[in-house]
Every structure is written in structure tokens, then in C-alpha cells.
Chains A and B, each alone.
Chain A
Amino acid sequence: MKTNQFKKAASYCNIGLIIFTLALLGAAMAYFIEVSGLPQAESNLLFIKPCYYVVMLCSILIIAKEIRKFWAALKNKTTKADDPAEEIDDAVTVSKKTDTIKQFLDEHKEIVLIVFSFLYLGILKTLGYVFSTFFFLSAVLYLIGAFNKKLVIIVSALTVLILYVAFGVCLRVSLPKGILGF
């Protein structure tokens, strides 16, 4: 019961926001500590120090606001705490896990996009601009867009051609050439 109350109260505050804010604060802190250890710290910290204190203050205010929401929700014990419809059926959870992952990825296609973007940059130098971009677009369009293979190939090839002509030919940008030479 108490766990349910805790979970209910936690849903009123944005855990993701708290974690992200702490991550930003951590990064600012790490930068501040690094700069403090450099020679001529006084000159280096002239601007960075006040900025860091502002970041720290803002982080505290943001996190405090979320914690206040959590405590307010926790104190309000009569809201949904005893609702039987909210009880979780453990047996059902296990069998739904596979569907949930597929559903999750389907609803969060951006995760697939991000992963493929990293892969794209990973192969860019080796395979070269033309092939890497073609494979990236084809893979993403096929997996996320669920288009037929013909459309995927046409769109990918056309996009690569336009980008190559625009940047490589017209603007004479030296695009990465992989092991195949282009």
C-alpha cells in the first residue's frame, strides 16, 4: 500500500526532469572544478564562477519545485491510493513484456533514429559519404517508415544524389571518401 502511495506521488513529479537537471549540474560542476585547477584560475574563473553559481541556484530551485510536488501528492493520501483497478497483476506483466518493448520502440522511433545516426557517423569515414548516407537512409526508411523496398531505394538514391551535387559539386565541399574512393 505504502509502495503504491509512493509510486502515485512519484508520478506527480517529473523524475526525468530531476535526473536531467542533476546531469546538467554535474557537467557544470565538473567544468568548474577543471577550470579551478588551471593556472591563472582567477582570470579563468572571472566569468565562469558566477555562471556556475547561477546554474547551481537554478538547479536547486527546479529540483525543489519537483520535490514539493512529490510531498504534496504524498500528503494527499485519499487520492487513488485504494483504487483496486490500479493494482498490478504480475502474471500479466511478464507476458506483455515483449509486446511492450515493440510498442515502446514503435512509439519512440527517435531512439532508433538516434542509434542509426551514431552508426552512420561510425561508418562515414570507412565507407565514404555516398554509401554511408545511402545505407543510413535506406535502413531508417525501411525500418521506421515501413515503405516498400522500391520506394526506399529511390528516395535514398535521389536524396544522396541531390546532396552530393549540392555540396560536393556546386559548393566543392570535400566530402569523405571511403575505401571505395567516393
Chain B
Amino acid sequence: MKTSLWTLVMEALFTLNLQAFLWMFVGTVLGVFGGFLPGVNATMVLVILLPLTYSMPLESALGMLLAAYGAAIFGGSGSAILLNTPGTGGSAATALDGFALTKKGKGNQALGIASMSSFLGGFISVVILLLLMRPLARFALRFGPPEYFAVSIFGVSIIASVTDNDTIKGIMAGVLGLLLGTVGMSLTGQLRGTMGNLFLTGGINTVPAMMGLFALTSAFNLINEKSVMNEGVQHKRNFKEELEGCLITLKHLPLVIWTAIIGTVIGILPGAGASIACWAAYKESFRFTKNPPKLGTGHYQGVIAPESANNAAQGGALITTFALGIPGSGASAVLLSALLLHGVTAGPQLLVQGIDLIIQPIVLLVISFFVCLVIGLIFEYVVSGVVNIPTKIIAPVIIALGMTGSYAFRGAIFDCFTALVFGILGYIMSKTGYSRVAMVLGLILGKMTEQELVRTSIRFGGDFSVFFTRPISCVILVVSILSILYSLVMKLRTSKN
């Protein structure tokens, strides 16, 4: 007899033991701390915690890992808002308006907004996960190369929205990013643009590249300024303002829900994840404002949207991980390893015969969101004082932190050089009006876009009408094209006014 989902959730809640709760707490704390550190992502935190799970029961093991998984994205917003140094790829969009709010003296509110948005986004995605795991998994199975290419083009269409000042320069930066994303080994086995360097065989590592374009460029700009803050503005740690930020998020509930749905759907697609979800959501933030302010000038929606989406993407990724057994990211792969270690195989059978095995860890994940919110607010209150440190101290420290974060990713000094080169490139771009955001987007999307285009060409014999004859890819492509046209028309109207 099939037990109802509600019954399973209630059973899991009432059979929670102290050990499972404590390990969940450990995972949450480490995840928040790790996520805050630039260059350290959920995968790294999970890899460190995995050996600890060998002797644990499955529920405790999975509960701890899931808590760390969600908390790492949660923690990444802190350094993005305070230092313009995204702790994880999913926090890159948050840095734009988050850091702008810090400079205006509203850093406390921005931290509160990010914490509450992350909490709500993650919570909504888990509800979707529990209710719609089976149908969403079936939906994900219908995605082939044309659909993945259409999703990439949807991501590329975001470039048109983020090029605020000069569209031509923005498009050029974005397309250069796409080209940079194709560096490395092609689908047909050729090495392109590697200059004989083995480290480039897998392509340009996006973590050090983002570290350079955001953190290091920020340090090079900050060194000539007196303070991180705007002139005449001071930052004082204020927990009350953080709580105000939480309330501000609650006033934007429709945006939170909508971007959480976007994040969950994008998170379902293997390889897409929080890095794309945050930008797709950032673009949506403008739809919810009557008079959309300029990009990156410090509007609350610019923090709410990406933070809600990047945490929701984690929930979406869990659907593919548990329901299909497909790891969409390194972190998902570690989760699958944990399941295998305890003799459980993920996939459709798990949903039919073993769903009770994963319900309790998912319940623990939801509880960890509450823990994250409290710990996150306290942790960020403590570290937010860093913005008052003189820029002549902060700038070299950011560089040391950025280099360490770049190195930590795979233990290669080459990645530190990558970060430095992108830092210099980003600095020149910031002085000449090119959009670094567009380049980052292009870099993230380049590989996926090219690979899916080539796969479509091979599979369908060069017939590209398949993009419009398959319903899912057709809808996504049409939406993307309309989105680009809409952005360009709005820009033309703004420039005429």
C-alpha cells in the first residue's frame, strides 16, 4: 500500500533523533563558513564531510551532507555583499546590487535580505521537490541536446539585459566570454586555445576567472579609494537592520516565489545549476519594479531574486540526483556517493520502493534552512565589520584571499595566475566601460552552448529546424528571442528619453 507523502514527512519528523540533528547542525555551520570563503564551494565542503559519514546511519549522513549543501550557497552571499567577492558561483549576481547597498551604508539590510531570500527560496524548492519530484523528473528526461541548447540561449539572452551602459560593449564582452568558454578540448577531441597548457585541457576554470573579474578587480579599484563605503557613509553593525532586511524580503514575496520556481526548474537541468539560476532570476528582478533602477545601483530586488533562485536551484538539483541518479554537479555526485556507501542506488526505483529513506534527510534539510537563517544572520553580523577596515589593508587581503580561494579549487598555482590575468582584464574592462558581468555569463555558458549545438548537429544531421519543431526547445527559444528584443527596445526607449 502506497503511504502518502504527508504521512512519510510526519513520520520522519517524529522519529528524528538527536544524533541526526547534531550532525545536521555541524553540516550547516561548516557549509555557511565554507560558502563565505571565496573559492570554496559546496562540493569542497561535502568532500571534506564525506569520510565522516562512513560510520553514520544513512539518515544522519545524508542529513549532514544536505545541510552543508544548502548552507554553502547560503554562506556565499556574505562575501559577495560585503566585499564584492562572491563566495560561490551562485552568488555572483548578488554581488552587483549587494555590494552597491553596502557602499550606500545599507549592508546590514542587504545581509538580512540575502539570508531571508535564501531561506525562503530553499524552502519553496524543497516543497516543490516533495510534491513534484516524480513529474519533474519525467519532464527532465524529455530534455535532449536541442532543449539544452535552448536553455543556454536563454542564459545568453540575459547578457542583453545586464549590459546597462553600452549595449555594443556588453554584447562584445558577452560573446568574448562565450568564446573563452569554448577553450579546451572540443567534443571532437581537439585542443583549442590551450597554448600547450595541460591545465587548460578542461577549459578555463570559471572559479578563478570569476575571482579575478570580481574580487581582484574590486581590489585594484579599491586601493585608490579611501573607503569601501561611499563618501560620507559609515557602516555600523546593527542586528536590527539585518532583521529589517528580512522584513523587506517578506514584502517582496511574489518575486521570491517566482524566482524560487525559476531556480528550481533551472536546477533540475544537470550542469545548469545555481550559477545560471542566479542570473536568470536577476533579470527577472526588473519585472517586479515599476520604475526599474539602473543595474547594480543597489536595489533590494537585485539581492532578493538571485539569492532566492540560487538556493532553490539546490532543491531542483536534488530532483535529478535522487529521481534519476544523475549528478548535475560535483556536490550532487558526492551525495550520490554517500547513498552508494550506504547501499542505496538513486534513480526511479528509489522513488517507488525507498522514498522513506530520503524523506528524513529532506526534512533535516528544511530544518537546516531555519538553522542557516539564524546562524547566517549572527555570523554575518560578526563579520560585517570588515567593511570598515581601511581599503589599503582590505585590498591586499582580498587579493591574498582570492588567490588562496583560486588555489583551493584544485591545488594548482596556474589557477592563481588565471585569477590574476582575469583581474587585470577586469580592471581594464571597468575603466573602458566593458561589462564584466556579461563576460562571466558568457564564460559560464560558452561550453554548454557549443556542446549542445554540436550534439544537435550530429544527432539530427545538421537539421537545425529541430529547434523549432520540438515544443520545449521552441518555447524556450521564442521566449529568449522575445526577451532580447524586449531588452533592446526598452534600452532604446530609455536612451531616447
Query: Hey, which bits of chain A sit against chain B, CB under 8 A?
Result: 14, 16-17, 20-21, 24, 28, 31, 34-35, 38-40, 43-44, 46-48, 51-52, 54-55, 58-59, 61-62, 107-110, 113-114, 117-118, 120-121, 124-125, 129, 133, 136-137, 140-141, 144-147, 155, 159-160, 163, 166-167, 170-176
Expressed in whole angstroms, the minimum distance between the Cβ of B444 and any Cβ of chain A is 15
In the complex with contacts A28-B176, A43-B454, A159-B397, A173-B408 CB distance below 8 A: yes
Q: Which of B126-134, B188-196, B318-326, B341-349 binds A? A: B188-196
Does B18 belong to the interface (CB within 8 Å)? no
Q: Which residue of A is nearest B194, CB measured?
A: A34
The residues in B between 407 and 443 inclusive whose CB is less than 8 angstroms from any CB of A are: 407-408, 411, 413, 416-417, 420, 423-424, 427-428, 431-434
Are A113's CB and B392's CB within 8 A? no
Bound: A114/B395 CA distance, A: 11
Among A17, A124, A145, A166, the residue within 8 A (CB) of B413 is A124
Q: Are B428 and A47 in contact (CB under 8 A)?
A: no
- On whether the beta carbons of B432 and A140 are closer than 8 Å, the reply is no
| Measured CA separation A47–B220 after assembly (Å) | 34
Check if A136 sits within 8 Å of B178, measured CB to CB: no
Known contacts A44-B188, A145-B393: does B411 contact A110 (CB below 8 Å)?
no
Most buried by B among A16, A117, A125: A117
For the complex with contacts A58-B172, A159-B400, A171-B44, 15 further pairs of A-B residues with Cβ separation under 8 Å are A17-B433, A43-B188, A44-B192, A48-B450, A55-B172, A62-B168, A107-B224, A113-B219, A113-B395, A120-B403, A145-B390, A166-B37, A167-B40, A173-B411, A175-B404
**6 closest residue pairs by CB, A with B:** A58-B172, A145-B392, A110-B220, A47-B450, A140-B396, A173-B408
CB distance from A19 to the nearest CB of B (A): 9
Q: How far is the CA of A53 from the CA of B172 in the complex (A)?
A: 10
Decide: A24 and B176 in contact? CB cutoff 8 A.
yes
Q: Does B472 contact A (CB under 8 A)?
A: no
In the complex, whether B70 has a CB less than 8 A from a CB of chain A is: no
Q: Contact size class for B?
A: 35 or more
Distance from B150 Cβ to chain A, minimum over Cβ atoms (Å): 14
Question: Given the interface contacts A16-B431, A31-B179, A55-B176, does A113 sit within 8 Å of B396 by beta carbon?
Answer: yes
Write the nearest CB–CB distance from A83 to chain B, whole angstroms.
Answer: 28
Q: Which residue of A lies closest to B220 (CB)?
A: A110
Are the CB atoms of B37 and A44 closer together than 8 Å? no
Q: A58-B175, A109-B224 are in contact. Are A137 and B411 (CB under 8 A)?
A: no
Which residues in B have their C-beta under 8 angstroms from that of A113?
219-220, 223, 395-396, 399
Could you list 28 A-B pairs, sorted by A, with CB under 8 Å?
A20-B428, A31-B192, A34-B193, A43-B187, A44-B190, A46-B450, A47-B178, A51-B175, A54-B175, A55-B172, A58-B168, A62-B168, A62-B169, A113-B219, A113-B399, A114-B424, A117-B216, A124-B416, A137-B400, A141-B392, A144-B396, A155-B393, A163-B401, A170-B30, A170-B33, A172-B48, A173-B408, A176-B413
B179: contacting residue among A21, A52, A107, CB under 8 A: A52
Chain B residue, CB-CB nearest to A31 = B193
Determine the distance from Cα of A114 to Cα of B37 in the docked complex, in whole angstroms: 22
- Is B483 part of the binding interface, using a Cβ–Cβ cutoff of 8 Å? no
Beta-carbon contact of B408 and A17 below 8 Å = no
Closest residue of chain A to B149, judged by CB? A47
- Helix, strand, loop or mixed for chain B's interface? helix
Q: How far is the CA of A171 from the CA of B216 in the complex (A)?
A: 22
Chain A interface SS verdict (over half): helix
Question: Quick check: A61 and B404 within 8 Å, CB to CB?
Answer: no
Given A46-B453, A170-B33; A55-B396 close (CB under 8 Å): no
Report the minimum CB–CB distance from B79 to chain A (whole Å): 12
Contact (Cβ within 8 A) A110 B186: no
Question: A163 and B400 in contact (CB under 8 A), knowing A38-B192, A47-B453, A59-B172?
Answer: yes
B427 near A110 with CB under 8 A, answer yes
Q: Could you tell me if B190 and A51 are in contact, using CB atoms closer than 8 angstroms?
A: no
- A136→B168 contact, CB < 8 A: no
Q: Which residues from A are CB-within-8-Å of B192?
A: 31, 34-35, 38, 44
A136 touches B396 (CB 8 A): yes
